[in-house]
Amino acid sequence: EAQVTQNPRYLITVTGKKLTVTCSQNMNHEYMSWYRQDPGLGLRQIYYSMNVEVTDKGDVPEGYKVSRKEKRNFPLILESPSPNQTSLYFCASSPTMSYNEQFFGPGTRLTVL
Amino acid sequence: DQQVKQNSPSLSVQEGRISILNCDYTNSMFDYFLWYKKYPAEGPTFLISISSIKDKNEDGRFTVFLNKSAKHLSLHIVPSQPGDSAVYFCAASASYGYALNFGKGTSLLVTP
């Protein structure tokens, strides 16, 4: 089944404790992206990757890091999480950056205490 | 600054009637528009899209209308079904290769 998977689905952590949210897609897509969804703000892009080893900042990159060492994986790293990073996070992928319809993962709900 | 606006946070419609969800945008460079549907505890799923060279696109019960001069698009669902109850996000892109800009979403409730 073609899909985007994220782990963990739910995470409660404390301020300053480094964490990684994994994202994997099995569709051989070149383009991958991370979004966060907050009440009243919709979906905002954090980082995106056009292909392996090519990443760039989205609208709200502060406090996040990403890497794209393999085509299928695009982990989101929070080196020192803070309470304002409590949010619902979505990973998405599409065949290329020029293909606008993106396929989204199920989401990761992160709470930073 | 929100470039894609969905000014109605929620909408309630009776089953069988038409649902109309609205979206406005401010960036005149946007030329590709999409609607995504999101159920609780799931990621958004692509529903329908429209390019700026068209003013209407249909897919079954779903139709999207684009009014470029007014910078406005709408999603019509006819007839509405209870399974359509979800949050609908409008998104826009300034040509291929640019990031999607999402609205805040409209929560649609279709009552039996």
pLDDT tens-digit map of B36-85: 999 998 999 999 999 999 999 999 999 999 999 999 999 999 999 999 99
Of residues A48, A90, A101, nearest to B99 (C-beta): A48
Q: Where does the pLDDT of residue B94 fall: very low under 50, low under 70, confident under 90, or very high at 90 and above?
A: confident
Instruction: Please tell me what DSSP assigns to residue A62.
Output: T
CB burial class (10 A; 0-12, 13-18, 19+) of residue A77? Answer: middle
Min mean pLDDT across B20-24, B28-32, B33-37, B96-100 is at B96-100
What is the average per-residue pLDDT within B84-112? 89
Res. B97: pLDDT tops 60:
no
* pLDDT at residue A37, rounded to an integer: 94
Res. A101: pLDDT tops 90:
no
Tokens of A51: 């292909």
Min mean pLDDT across A101-110, B25-34, B89-98 is at B89-98
CB pairs under 8 A between A and B: 54
* pLDDT at residue B69, rounded to an integer: 95
Min mean pLDDT across A69-83, B52-66, B86-100 is at B86-100
Res. A98: pLDDT tops 90:
no
* pLDDT at residue B36, rounded to an integer: 96
Q: Are B92 and B25 in contact (CB under 8 A)?
A: yes
Mean pLDDT of chain A: 94
* pLDDT at residue B65, rounded to an integer: 98
Res. A33: pLDDT tops 90:
yes
Q: Are A70 and A2 in contact (CB under 8 A)?
A: no
Res. A42: pLDDT tops 90:
no
Tokens of A91: 């990973």
* pLDDT at residue B1, rounded to an integer: 73
CA–CA distance, B72 with B32 (Å, rounded to integer):
12
Res. B96: pLDDT tops 60:
no
* pLDDT at residue A106, rounded to an integer: 96
* pLDDT at residue B98, rounded to an integer: 63
Instruction: Please tell me what DSSP assigns to residue B83.
Output: G
Q: How many CA atoms lie within 13 A of A109 on its CB side?
A: 5
Q: Which residue of A has its CA nearest to B8?
A: A40
Cα separations (Å) of B100 from A38, A57, B30, B77, B97? 16, 13, 10, 23, 9
Residues in B whose CB is inside 8 Å of some CB of A read 2, 4, 6, 32, 34, 36, 41-46, 49, 89, 91, 93, 96-97, 99-100, 102-105
Res. B2: pLDDT tops 90:
no
